[in-house]
């Protein structure tokens, strides 16, 4: 890479954000019901936070990741079956 540019991506799982409100409404659930239902399908047993996603982005921007390129870091609480 002659210009020192790395290209990586973060693949977020279910995260409590504005779109979560829309998803809950579409499912006909209260926010609390929706988050509990979603958390059941996540191996870590909880919904992600914007901080979880920010930490992944921070990793890619850190000097320690200067040799990491072409990767997708899934921040989803574990693989889904």
SS3 72: strand
Q: Could you read off the pLDDT of 2-28 as tens digits, one per residue?
A: 788 899 999 999 998 888 889 999 999
Residue-range domain boundaries for the chain: 9-75
For residue 41, give the nearest of 77, 7, 10 by alpha carbon.
Answer: 77
Q: Could you read off the pLDDT of 25-78 as tens digits, one per residue?
A: 999 999 999 999 999 999 999 999 999 999 999 999 999 999 999 999 999 999
Residues 54, 46: contact at Cβ < 8 Å?
Answer: no
- Nearest 5 degrees, angle CA 43-CA 41-CA 79? 50
């Amino acid at each position: 890479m002659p210009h020192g540019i790395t290209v990586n991506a973060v693949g977020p799982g279910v995260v409590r954000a504005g779109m979560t409100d829309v998803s809950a409404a579409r499912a006909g659930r209260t926010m609390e019901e929706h988050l509990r239902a979603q958390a059941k399908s996540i191996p870590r047993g909880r919904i992600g936070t914007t901080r979880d996603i920010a930490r992944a982005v921070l990793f890619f921007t850190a000097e320690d990741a200067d040799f990491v390129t072409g990767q997708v870091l899934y921040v989803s609480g574990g693989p889904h079956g």
